[in-house]
A and B are shown apart, each in its own frame.
Chain A
Amino acid sequence: MLTVNNISKSFDKGRSYALKNISFSLDKGKSYSIVGESGSGKTTLIRLLCGLETPDEGIISVQEQIVTSDAIFIAPEKRKIGLVFQDYALFSHLSVYENVVYGISKNKDKKLRVADVLKLVGLTGFEKRYPHELSGGQQQRVALARAIAPAPEILILDEPFSNLDASLRTQLRNEIFEIIKQTNTTAIFVTHDTDDALAVSDEILVLHKGKLIQKNAAEILYRNPKNTYIAGLFGNVFTLETNTKKEFGIDHTSTVCVRQEHLKLNTIADYQTNVKILQQKFIGTHYAIVLQVGNQKITVLHHTTIEENTCKLSFNKASILSFNKNNK
C-alpha cells in the first residue's frame, strides 16, 4: 500500500538530519501509529508522505506507484492521501457543508456523500454552521469528515487528540477508530501519547532522533521492546543497577529492566528481596511506596499502606526485559 525506502531529510544542508534512512511499508486497511517525542521527526515524515516537503534521498510509493524519488515528484493533490491537521485547519470562511464538500470530486453525488460522512461523524444537522460556532470536539469531527469525504487511500491524523481534554479524548479516540475501520482506509495516527497509540493501532512505528527504531504490533512492542527507550515509552520501567541485581540474585551481564506494574510487595515470586520502606503516599487509586533497594530508590504502586518499616519486593522471571549493551 505505502512503501518508504531509505528516506532522509535535512533542513540545514546536511549538518543534521530530521530523518535518516527511514524504510518501512504499510498494508491496506490497517491502522498504524507513529510514536515519538517532540523533535523525533514524526511531522517531517508525514509531510514527506503527503508531498508537502521533498526528501533529500529515498523513494516513497503509494500502491506501487512512485510518488517521490530523486527524479519524480507527484503533487500532494494527486496522491490520494488525506491529512487531519493538529489544528484541524478548517476553512473559517466556509460552512460545515462547504468544508466537507470542498474535496469531493465533480462526478460524485456531492450532497449524498456529505450527508453520509456527516452522519458517520455524528454531525447531521450541522451543515450550515461555521467552524467558530462549533466546540473543539465538533471541529475535530468536521476535520475528520472533510478528510474522509474524498475517500483517500491513506488517512493521516496528526496529533488528533492533543487539543482535547481527557474525558472527550478517550470517547473521541474510540469513535474515530471505529469510523476509520468502517471506511476500510489505511490510517496513520501521529502521536506522542502511547496510550493513544495502543488504543487505535494495529502496528506502531517508534521514531527516535530521526530514526525508525522499531515497528511492531502493540503487544510485541510492550512485551519485547528493542531497547530501554522503547520499554520506557509504555509505562514506568526500572533498570536494575548492579547492586540491585545482586540483591535479587540475578547475575546477567546485560541490562535488566522490570516494569513498575510487575513489581509486587509481600508476594512470593521468582525473584525477591527484603527492602526498606522510605515513604508511602496516597495518589488516588493506589499508594506509591518508595523503597530503598541497594543504592537504588524504586517506587511501587500498592493498594494499601504497609504497617512495617520493611517489606518483601518481588517479581517473576517472565517480567524481566533484558537488553544487550549495544541495543540503544
Chain B
Amino acid sequence: MFTYFKHIKRDTNIWSALTLTIVGFIALPILTIAIKLCNGPGESWKHLTNTVLSDYITNSLLLIAGTTVLTLLFGISSAWVVSRYEFRFRKQFEWLLILPLAIPSYIIAYSYAGIFDYGGILEKITFGVLPKFDVMSITGLIWVLSISLYPYVYVAARTFFLNQSGRLFEASKVLGVGEFKALKKLILPLARPAIIGGLVLVLMEVLNDYGAAKYYGVSTFTTGIFRAWFSLEEPETAIYLSALLVAVIFILLGLERWQRNKISYAINSKTQVPLKRLIPSTQHKIVIYSIVGVPVFFGFIIPLIQLIYWAVLTYETVLNDGFFSIAIQSFTISVLSAIVTVLFALALIYFTKWNRLRVLDYFTKIGVLGYAIPGAVIAIGVLIPTLGFDKWLISFMSDNFQEKIGFFINGTIFVLVYAYTVRFMAVAYNPIEAVCLKVNKSVSESSKLLGNTILKTFFKIEFPLIKTGVFGGIVLVFVDVMKELPLTLILKPYQVQTLAVKAYEYASDEQIMEAALPSLLIIVTGVLPVILLNKLINR
C-alpha cells in the first residue's frame, strides 16, 4: 500500500514550518469567525431575523441579480465590439472601458447623488424637463455598482475574445457557419467560464460594498454587520451575519467551479490566431459607438466631471494642511501595506516551493481566501483575536509584574496592516505566482546543483527574473488599499485618517461637495495601474 505519510520526518524542513505559520497567520481571522459561530448568536439575533434580516437577504439578492444583468450586458457587448470591429478611437476605447474600475463604487455613488440632486447637473442640462428620479434607492445602487464594476467582465471577456476566438472563427467559417451563429453557438459558450470568472469578482465586490449602500440607505448584509457591531454593540450578531454573507459568497464560488468542471472548455489549439477585425457600415458604427460610449460616459466621464466641478467649488476650504497630512498618511499606509502583503505573498509562494512536504500545498490556498471575504468580515475576524491577545497581555503584565498597560497592538497601525494583508493577499499572490511560474524550473534547479543554497538562488537568480511582477503586485495592492473603506472604518487607529475614510465622512456629514478632492486623489492613484493592467493584457 502506498504510504503517504511515510516520509514526514525526511521531507519536513524549516520551510514546512514557516509555510504553516504564514497560512495560520493569514487564516486566523477566518478561523476566528468560524469558531465564534459555535458560541451562538447575540440577544438581538432573534429580533433581527424577525425584522431586518429579510430586507438584508432581499436587497442583497436584488443587488446580485441586477448587477449580474447589467455588468454582463455592458461587459460582454463592449468587449465583443472592441475585439471584432475596427473603428476610429478603438484603441483609446479599449483602455477607457477599463477606467471605471479606478473609481471606487462609493465615489461613483456620491457623484450620481449630485448629478440627480435638485439643482444638479442633470436638471441644469435638461432644464428640469425630465421627471425626477430618486437615484438613492436600490435601483440607483444597482446602476452605480454595475457601471463601476462591469470592467471585471469586460477584461475577462476581451482577453478570451482576443486570444481564443480567431481560430474558432476560422474553423466555423470553413464549415460554412455565419457570424451570428458562430458567436451564439461557439464563442459565447466557450467564453462562459472566463466571463463568469469576471462576474464572480463583480459579485464579491457588490457584497463587499459598504460606502455606496450606506450612502443610498439600502440595507445589505455589509451595512447590517456594521449596524450590529457599532449600533447594537453585539459582536456575536455581527459574526452571524458575516457567516451568512461568507456562505453566500462560497455558494457563488462553488457554482462557478461547478459550471467550469461540467464541460471541458480547453481549446485544443496551440497557436493563437488573432481575430480579424471587420470594418462596420455607417449604421453599425452608431450602434458600436453607443455600446462603447455608454459605459465610458456614465462610468467614468460623468462622475469625473461632477467631482471636478465640486472640487473647483470646494478646493479653497478642503485643500489645507490637514488634507495634505491625510494624503500622506494614506500613501504611507498603502505603501507599507502593499510591501508587507507582497512580502507575505512571496514568502508563501517560495516557502511552499522549498518545503518538500507536498501535502502542505493544499493548505496554501487558504492563504488567498481573504479576497473572497468582505472587508467588514475580515475586520471583525482580525479584531477578535488581537483584542484577545491584548487582554491576555494586560492581565499577564498586571498579574506577574504589577504593571498597568494599555492595548499593545489594538488601536495601532499593526492591526490595520495585518487586516489589509489578509484581505489583499490574493491580489499580490496571483500575479506574482504567475510570473514565478514563467521562470523556467530548470534555471533555479541548476543554481542549486551548482552548489548554491535556496536563498542565494532566490536572491541571485530568481528575484532578478520576477522583480517586475513583484513591483506590479505592490502597485495593485497599493491601489486596493487606497480605495478600501469598510475594513479601514472598523480598524483604523483613532488618530489615523485615510483619503477614503475622509471622503466617506464628508459624504456622511452632508458635505458631499467636500468629498470630491479626496475622491479625485484616489482616482488619480487608481488610473495608473489600470493602464498598466491593460498593457499587460495586450502583451
Interface residues of A (CB under 8 A from B): 10, 13-14, 50, 52, 54, 56, 69-73, 75-83, 85-87, 89-93, 102-103, 105, 146-147, 149-150
Contact = CB atoms under 8 A, between A and B. Distances in A.
Contacts of B10: 54, 69-73
10 contacts: A10-B2, A13-B4, A14-B2, A70-B6, A75-B448, A89-B443, A90-B443, A93-B464, A102-B450, A146-B450
B450 A103 contact: yes
B59 interface: no
B409 to A, nearest CB: 38
A93 B442 CA distance: 15
Contacts of A14: 1-2
A304 to B, nearest CB: 46
Nearest to B443: A89
Interface in B440-458: 440, 442-443, 445-453
Nearest to A50: B449
Given A77-B451, A103-B452, A83 B445 contact: yes
B167 interface: no
A149 B4 CA distance: 39
Given A50-B445, A75-B448, A105-B451, 10 more contacts: A54-B10, A56-B2, A56-B6, A70-B6, A73-B10, A73-B356, A76-B445, A102-B447, A102-B450, A103-B450
A149 B449 CA distance: 12
Contacts of B6: 56, 70
Contacts of A75: 448
Interface string B348-369: 0000000010000000000000
A71 B446 contact: no
B445 A52 contact: yes
A10 B2 CA distance: 9
B2 A76 contact: no
Contacts of B440: 87, 89
Contacts of A92: 465
Contact of A71 (B9, B447, B464): B9
Contacts of B450: 77, 82, 102-103, 146-147, 149-150
A73 B2 CA distance: 20
Nearest to B4: A13
A117 to B, nearest CB: 13
Contacts of B465: 92-93
A89 B448 contact: no
B191 to A, nearest CB: 33
Interface in B44-70: none
B351 to A, nearest CB: 16
Interface string B1-40: 1101011011100000000000000000000000000000
Contacts of A56: 2, 6-7
A97 B148 CA distance: 53
A75 B449 CA distance: 9
Interface in B61-110: none
A103 B443 contact: no
B413 interface: no
Contact of B461 (A70, A91, A105): A91
A30 B445 CA distance: 25
Given A70-B6, A93-B465, A102-B452, A54 B445 contact: no
Shortest 10 CB-CB contacts between residues of A and residues of B? A14-B2, A103-B450, A89-B442, A85-B442, A89-B446, A76-B448, A89-B443, A77-B448, A83-B449, A77-B451
A82 B2 contact: no
A176 B447 CA distance: 21
A50 B448 CA distance: 10
B441 to A, nearest CB: 9
Contact of A77 (B9, B356, B442, B449): B449
A70 B6 CA distance: 8
A70 B445 CA distance: 22
A85 B461 CA distance: 16
A103 B457 CA distance: 11
Given A56-B2, A73-B10, A82 B449 contact: yes
A262 B25 CA distance: 71
A196 B416 CA distance: 62
A54 B2 contact: no
Contacts of B2: 10, 13-14, 56
A71 B453 CA distance: 21
